[in-house]
Amino acid sequence: MLVGARRVRCGLAQVALLAGVLTGCSEAAEDDSKASAGASASAEAASDSAAAVKSGGTIGGAGSACELPVTFDIAQYWEAEAVETGADEEKAADGDSGSADPEKAELAEDIADALLHQGPVTAACEVDAKPAGNIGFLRIWTGKPGDDDARAVLEAFVAAEKNTSKAKYSSFKTGGVSGVEVKYLFTSKLLEETKEESALAVTTKKGPVVIHLGGMDTEEHQQMLPAYELAKRTLRVG
């Protein structure tokens, strides 16, 4: 089934559409310098408040909504769902090949590939913030085992997003897990807006894992940072 893949595409499309609708009545987007200045302050505030965020459970382990090479807590009310890719998509495509328009099928495949793969990693899980009152997702991406360290994986991930700037990388350690995180700005050419984004990467025997937090805009991103910090603080290799 393509349920997971369609859901992540739908989630991205809904965010983009709503952002486009709200752009006309919102204030002008912050420029790069203002957004960069706000990033440091918002990160510190999020880190301070992360401990106060209530956990909505742990994902990543066997039997959880998303089985991953790592485990971590998600914020209360956030909802996790695995993203189906690979063999599931191929099987569904084979089943529909008799009735699908070849050109449309190819276009759908290209769109799916763009949304489900970013640099060296593939979408594996998305945690939806809407039930908690925010517009955005905490997305988890996984890759195949290799020689790249967490910094190299994260740099390739950010580069593949394109239209990014002012990336600031730093190392972190939590619960015996060492990794690298990045705070950066993403500029939407379509919406002519710049917003903050955050991501972290760790490597495991099963391959690299990237946890990314976006958001409709910088304000939404900052409001969701405590959930991101909770995930980082409780991160463990499964």
46 pLDDT above the threshold of 60:
no
Which two structure tokens, joined as six digits, stand for 145?
């085992």
Identity of the residue numbered 54: K
Q: Are 207 and 146 in contact (CB under 8 A)?
A: yes
Distance between CA atoms of residues 42 and 36, nearest Å: 10
Task: Look at strands 164-174 and 177-188 and give their pairing.
Answer: antiparallel
Average pLDDT over residues 69-90: 85
Total Cβ atoms within 10 A of residue 20: 12
* Residue (of 13, 7, 132, 14) closest to 81 by Cα position: 7
Between 87-96 and 3-23, two packed helices, what is the crossing angle to 10 degrees? 90
The tally of CA atoms less than 13 A away on the side-chain side of residue 18 is: 14
Q: What pLDDT band is residue 183 in, cutting at 50, 70 and 90?
A: very high
Which two structure tokens, joined as six digits, stand for 13?
């499309």
Which domains, from first to last, does the chain contain?
29-84+118-237 (3.40.1000.10)
This prediction has a pTM of 0.74
Higher pLDDT, 21 or 135: 135
Within 8 A by CB and 6+ apart from 97, the residues are: 105
Q: Of all helices (H) and strands (E), which one includes residue 26? A: none
pLDDT digits (tens, 9 = 90+) for 125-136: 999 999 999 999
Q: Are 193 and 145 in contact (CB under 8 A)?
A: no
